[in-house]
Amino acid sequence: MQIRILAAAAALLLVAGHALAIEKITFPTRIGTVVFPHKKHQEALGQCRGCHEKGPGRIEGFDKVLAHGRGCKGCHEELKKGPTRCNGCHNGK
């Protein structure tokens, strides 16, 4: 019984996770648009925490400083995955 309830809860979470699987988010900047493959990050990292500390949605205070720090680039440096050079991120049309 207990197990069945847990399984149902897990299935619901999966559905909710899928509905929130935002494919891409773009940040237009004056040196070139940054295209952020959001869904790819969800899949690669397997969690929302680390980026979303207060639950899914817009990230309060997300800006250039955060993007060049732990919000984007810092994590790429730490994990040695993902672009760390300017034009690796600022390359969108």
User: How many angstroms separate the CA atoms of 23 and 5, rounded?
Assistant: 30
Helices (H), 20-93: 38-45, 64-68, 73-79, 86-89
- According to DSSP, the residues that pair with 26 across neighbouring strands are 35
CB atoms within 10 A of CB 42: 17
Is 11 or 79 the residue whose CB approaches ligand HEC more closely? 79
Rg, C-alpha atoms of the chain = 16
Residue 82 beta carbon to ligand HEC: minimum distance, rounded to whole angstroms: 3
- Is residue 44 close enough to count as binding ligand HEC by CB under 6 A? yes
- Is residue 51 close enough to count as binding ligand HEC by CB under 6 A? yes
Using the 8-state DSSP alphabet, how is residue 40 labeled? H
Is 2 or 23 the residue whose CB approaches ligand HEC more closely? 23
Is 6 or 88 the residue whose CB approaches ligand HEC more closely? 88
Exposure on the CB side of residue 32, measured as CA atoms within 13 A = 12
Q: Rule CB under 6 A: choose which of 30, 53, 54, 93 binds ligand HEC.
A: 30
Query: Which parts of this chain interact with ligand HEC (CB under 6 A)?
Result: 17, 20, 22, 25, 27, 29-31, 34, 36-38, 40-42, 44-45, 48, 50-52, 56-59, 62-64, 67-68, 71-73, 75-76, 79, 81-86, 88-90
